[in-house]
């Protein structure tokens, strides 16, 4: 995906819609009918239903809601509207065949991109961007569905995707100091399209704190596992211990012990556990337990955003009240600064990409691996649902906030203010953590 799509110009949005559709189809191109349905699991959708849902969402908001056109499918709302069809019923629904689904996606997209820029209203541009970012998110979800189900790693036509190598030692680099001050948490009205849960920026106080310059690595998390962290009750919250006992978990979900060495399942392959890479597929309970073992803590989402985007006064004693669009500045993401867009085919060592560091020196706060925060997913003051009312409001209070993005996140989605959210038991997401020091009381 080309970074920096000019959302103020419809031509840029249309170009991005065509590009992400190509990515969507590449992500399922090798799946036969059986694998397009897959097993009935609570944490994945049937891929055949999900690509149909992507097309339906685009049709509903752009063609029907904005342009007032008639539905293309007689039963589309009943089958592909995620707010209507319960998750467990998606395997039994009267889904289109693979070829029919792809034909439907093509017909919708052809109609969506018709027309000239001068014919688009502001409302239509809004829903074009909503449909675009919705498909970007589902493309990432297709990627971790392939991991969950043990399918092969995705193969892309673009030779620039995957296989990139970045030399790095995988070192933690210690802590960065973030001075206290005021932070405008969230997005402002001048930033263009933002999701409803980012609205609107509001001032919050930040106390001085120290945060790891890098995400927690496999090597660091391995020490917790080998120290018996999963079997030691004192490291776990009550809810976390109930989850651990109920699942009999002894280590991250895709780790395996073989001949005295740790290996990890990566899609359909077993690979040696690389201590330099960030720990992946740990849920919030595991991240919280690791922090207790390490004598650390998770950052709040306000602290995370301050470390990722806040500028600091020249003397380094306080935040200066300004925020950067990205950790490194205003320029859009590129491979020197952020591991996004499936480019590396996986994660990079935690200390890679120094050019992408934030003002306080934290690396990879955009891309590589999503990072759990301590914060519950709650509305900001004055929250109002956007037109797509099911996006945020149903999940307040039951989910935890993640920040940053993963190696499979679109650069159109990944921004310091973007709030991802999952329930604390989810291990399928490309998620890890970054820790903060616990300050001693004076």
Q: Where are the domains of the chain?
A: 10-148, 158-442
CATH architecture observed for domain 10-148:
Up-down Bundle (1.20)
What CA dihedral angle connects 376, 379, 385 and 390, to 10 degrees?
Answer: 10
pLDDT > 90 in the chain, percent? 87
Q: How confident is the model at residue 4 (pLDDT cuts 50, 70, 90)?
A: very low
Range in 68-72, 123-127, 377-381, 392-396 the model is least confident about: 123-127
Structural tokens at position 255: 């780790």
- CA-to-CA distance for 299 and 372, rounded, in angstroms? 8
pLDDT at 33 over 80: yes
Span 383-408, pLDDT tens digits:
999 999 999 999 999 999 999 999 99
- What is the band of 3 on the pLDDT scale with cuts at 50, 70, 90? very low
Domain 158-442 sits in CATH 3.90.1580.10: yes
Which pLDDT value is given to residue 110?
Answer: 96
Q: What is the mean pLDDT of residues 150-175?
A: 75
Contacts of 413 (CB under 8 A, 6+ apart): 133, 136, 137, 140, 405
pLDDT tens across 176-224, in order?
999 999 999 999 998 889 999 999 999 999 999 999 999 999 999 999 9
The pLDDT-based confidence of 169 (bands split at 50, 70, 90) is: confident
- Kindly list the strands in the beta sheet with 261-266, ordered across the sheet, starting from the edge strand earlier in the chain: 255-258, 261-266, 269-272
What are the pLDDT digits (tens) for 273-290?
999 999 999 999 999 999
**What is the predicted pLDDT for the residue at 166?**
60
pTM score, whole prediction: 0.95
pLDDT tens digit string along 259-271?
A: 999 999 999 999 9
Least confident of 23-27, 325-329, 343-347, 427-431: 343-347
């Amino acid at each position: 995906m080309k970074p920096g799509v000019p959302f103020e110009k419809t031509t840029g949005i249309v170009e991005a819609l065509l590009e992400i559709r190509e990515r969507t189809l590449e992500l399922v191109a090798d799946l036969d009918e059986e694998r397009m349905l897959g097993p009935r699991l609570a944490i994945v959708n049937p891929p055949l239903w999900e690509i149909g849902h992507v097309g339906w969402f685009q049709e509903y908001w752009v063609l029907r809601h904005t342009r007032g056109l008639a539905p293309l499918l007689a039963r589309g709302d009943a089958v592909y509207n995620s707010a209507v069809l319960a998750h467990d019923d998606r395997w039994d629904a009267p889904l289109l065949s693979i070829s029919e689904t792809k034909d439907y996606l093509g017909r919708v997209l052809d109609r969506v991109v018709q027309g000239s820029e001068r014919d688009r209203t502001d409302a239509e541009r809004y829903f074009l961007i909503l449909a675009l970012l919705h498909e970007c998110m589902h493309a990432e979800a297709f990627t971790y569905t392939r991991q969950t189900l043990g399918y092969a790693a995705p193969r892309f036509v673009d030779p620039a995707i995957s296989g990139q190598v970045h030399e790095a030692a995988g070192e933690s680099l210690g802590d960065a100091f973030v001075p206290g001050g005021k932070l405008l948490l969230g997005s402002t009205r001048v930033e263009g399209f933002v999701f409803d849960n980012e609205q609107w920026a509001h001032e919050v106080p930040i106390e001085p704190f120290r945060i790891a310059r890098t995400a927690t690595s496999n090597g660091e998390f391995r020490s917790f596992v080998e120290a018996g962290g999963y079997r030691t009750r004192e490291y776990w919250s009550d809810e976390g211990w109930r989850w651990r006992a109920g699942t009999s978990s002894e280590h991250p979900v895709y780790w395996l012990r073989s001949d005295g060495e740790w290996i990890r399942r990566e899609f359909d392959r077993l690979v040696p556990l690389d201590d330099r890479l960030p720990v992946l597929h740990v849920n919030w309970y595991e991240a919280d337990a690791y922090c207790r073992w390490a004598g650390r803590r998770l950052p709040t989402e306000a602290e995370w955003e301050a470390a990722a985007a806040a500028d600091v006064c020249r003397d380094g004693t306080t935040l200066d009240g300004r925020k950067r669009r990205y950790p490194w500045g205003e320029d859009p993401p590129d491979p020197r600064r952020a591991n996004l867009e499936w480019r590396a085919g996986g994660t990079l060592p935690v200390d890679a990409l120094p050019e992408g560091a934030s003002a306080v020196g934290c690396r990879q706060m955009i891309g590589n691996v999503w990072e759990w925060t301590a914060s519950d997913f709650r509305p900001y003051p004055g929250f109002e649902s956007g037109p797509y009312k099911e996006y945020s409001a149903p999940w307040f209070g039951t989910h935890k906030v993640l920040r940053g993005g993963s190696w499979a996140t679109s650069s159109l989605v990944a921004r310091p203010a973007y709030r991802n959210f999952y329930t604390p038991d989810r291990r399928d997401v490309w998620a890890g953590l970054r820790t903060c020091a616990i300050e001693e009381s004076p």
